[in-house]
Amino acid sequence: MNHLKSLKRLSALYGQVEQFHSGEARVAAAQVHEAESAIGAEIKMIHEARVGARMEEGDTMSRSMMAAQVEIATRRRRKLEPLLEKRKEVSAKARTRHVESRLWSERMKSLVDGESARIAEYEARRLQGEMDDRFLSQSSTKDRSEEGKR
């Protein structure tokens, strides 16, 4: 029985580790999404500035400002791209850790379930054996008392 309690505690620990890795994977995925959104915003800024520059054909000051916005947004995007790649790597590793810890957690749960079933079967057989012994004891006592009456 102590063996089963130890297995249950170990299984609970594996479950907690899985939850930790799950949270870690969610945070990493959110960080990837954040970087992708930032890059998307810079690409949108570049596109809008280029469209604005085309519309302001005669105004050189506005066109210069639009060109500067394109340059700034392009530089920001270039700085964000390595960050995105790094975050994708971190996210992939976190996802892998989560999958591995989930598998271990499921293995431990299966082990605990199997051990619980084995113990329950053993207890049922032991109880049945005790009941059989009682029945045999009562029937032999009954047989002896009947023989004594004859």
H-helix or E-strand spanning residue 59:
none
Domain ranges, ordered by start, for the chain = 2-109
Which tops the pLDDT comparison, 147 or 95?
95
Confidence class for position 149, pLDDT limits 50, 70, 90: low
Specify the pLDDT at position 145.
Answer: 65
Distance, in Å, from the CA atom of 117 to the CA atom of 110, rounded to the nearest integer, reads 10
Specify the pLDDT at position 33.
Answer: 97
Helix axes 2-55, 60-149, angle to 10 degrees: 160
Average pLDDT on 56-64 reads 75
114-123: long-range contacts, CB 8 A cutoff, minimum separation 24: 115/3, 115/4, 115/7, 116/4, 119/1, 119/4
Helices (H) and strands (E) in the chain, counts: 2, 0
**Cβ-contact 119, 53 below 8 angstroms:** no
DSSP state at residue 56: T
% residues pLDDT > 70 (the chain): 91
pLDDT, tens only, 29-48: 999 999 999 999 999 999 98
Tokens matching residue 125 = 């057989």
pLDDT at 133 over 90: no
Confidence class for position 142, pLDDT limits 50, 70, 90: low
